[in-house]
Amino acid sequence: MRVILAGYNVDVSQLLSKEVQCTPETISAAYARISRSKKSVDELRKDAVLDVEKARRSNKMIVFEMGHSSVAEHAVFNFDLIGISRYLTEFVQRTRLASFTEKSQRYVMLDGDYIIPEEIQNDAEILKQYQETIQLQNQTYLFLFEKLKSFFQRTTSLSKKDIEGLAKEDARYVLSMATQTQMGMTINARSLEHLLKRLYAIPLNEAKNLADSLYEQVSNIAPSLIRYIEPSKYDTQKYKTDVFAESREQVEKCTLLSYPAHADERIIAGLIFRSTGIDYQTAFENVKRMSTQDKEEILQRYLADITCHDSLPREFELVDFVFQVNISSSCFAQLKRHRIATIISTDYDPKFGFTIPKSIDKIGQKDAYRNVMEKSEKMYEILWEKYPEVKNYILTNAHHKVVLFKCNMRELCHFSRLRQDAHAQWDIRELAQNIIEKVKQVAPITSVLICGKDTFPEANTTLLHN
């Protein structure tokens, strides 16, 4: 694992002078004073740059003693995270107010690099079995890649690049979550402090090593903004999982658990409220009495000029949906990127099942594929007995977890434009289609523009000509 501090924001005057210390703390300290000083912002920044220690004392008092934590968000860091496991990325990318760009297994051919957990490195027998299992996964990945590449060459007229992309996309399902990856992360100081606490709370040495490396990189640069990183007992309890009972009901692929009655009417009433100032409840009752045609006409009036690059108005946030989905690790890797939504997931468990890409059946390799799943699950059971904290490393991109996914209609618009589009990966696209079909049943009027980018013109035509 390598963690490199690639950059951080500083006052421009610090870049132009060799006599002052470069730190993002001066910006946060200056901005914190805006609400209580007559000085202009540029004067406050100059004062902070000339006295870094005073700026640090100010940060400590305002951020931690007075509790104005948002001040720490003015300090921003960029990190290269190299050689961490695919599994650990799930914990890192839970951070809402941060940006991540990760190496995609859909586009990059993998060369077999994987994490060996420190927890098992001194257990020769377990280590041997673990490595043999991952070697089988990696060998099968290469074998399936070649078979799939030949299949797509015969059955499509795509370019060589696109054919190889399809082959990588489906072959990767046999790879373990121990597979190494890399990402770029941009994160503010407040979110970084929360991330460090989370990583220290997770019962994985890899997580603690990452936290150590991150903290080492920033502790001297911004000591006044990143201070409380020790997890509480409550923090550590959140990452303990109970042992599942042997019997469990089958979990459906996608279930709509809850939604408000009169979803369409709630959104349309919000649009009327904003433009007229009429009491919202009165507007809501009035909309309920309207005909479908009248409701559609109101929606047309507000969305007449919308394009696929525009967000829906915030009134669409008035309606929430909660889904329960049973999805592969590969699918979850994409779903988790929608961080503004509420995403609550179980631990991975082979009893939730695994996904088999349709192409694997078409090339006649289901037996080889299932063999990898079987061997992976046997190793999972062995790890669960002796080293339960690392058991998920050996599961594959195909294995499932169950997720509660809560989002509003506006978020669903963004989700569907990315994930229901023809360019989206098939696993997440199938999930998106299931989700949107259920939404359109309970909110048929306001969901008309919830679709992939590729079908937006058609949906917009439907909206305007109903």
Q: What is the pLDDT of residue 354?
A: 97
Give the CA-trace dihedral at 244, 432, 336, 322, to 10 degrees: -60
Q: What is the pLDDT of residue 152?
A: 96
- Distance, CA of 328 to CA of 317 (rounded, Å): 28
Report the side by side order of strands in the sheet with 254-258.
254-258, 320-328, 400-408, 342-345
Residue 100 neighbours by CB under 8 Å, 6+ apart = 89, 92, 93, 183, 184, 185, 337
**Average pLDDT for 122-146:** 97
Q: Tell me the per-residue pLDDT of 217-233, one tens digit each, with 9 for 90 and over.
A: 999 999 989 888 998 88
142 burial (CB, 10 Å; 0-12 / 13-18 / 19+) is middle
DSSP for residue 350: G
Q: Tell me the two tokens of residue 441.
A: 């049943």
Which CATH architecture describes the domain 2-82+181-237?
2-Layer Sandwich (3.30)
Q: What is the pLDDT of residue 466?
A: 62
Q: Tell me the per-residue pLDDT of 58-67, one tens digit each, with 9 for 90 and over.
A: 888 887 777 7
Q: Tell me the two tokens of residue 351.
A: 């009893």
- Distance, CA of 29 to CA of 43 (rounded, Å): 12
Q: Tell me the per-residue pLDDT of 141-177, one tens digit each, with 9 for 90 and over.
A: 999 999 999 999 999 999 999 999 999 999 999 999 9
The whole-model pTM stands at 0.90
Taking alpha carbons only, the member of 102, 106, 104 closest to residue 164 is 106
Q: Tell me the per-residue pLDDT of 321-380, one tens digit each, with 9 for 90 and over.
A: 999 999 999 999 999 999 899 999 999 999 999 999 999 999 999 999 999 999 999 999
Cβ(130)–Cβ(116) under 8 Å? Answer: yes
* DSSP assignment string, 40-52: -HHHHHHHHHH-H
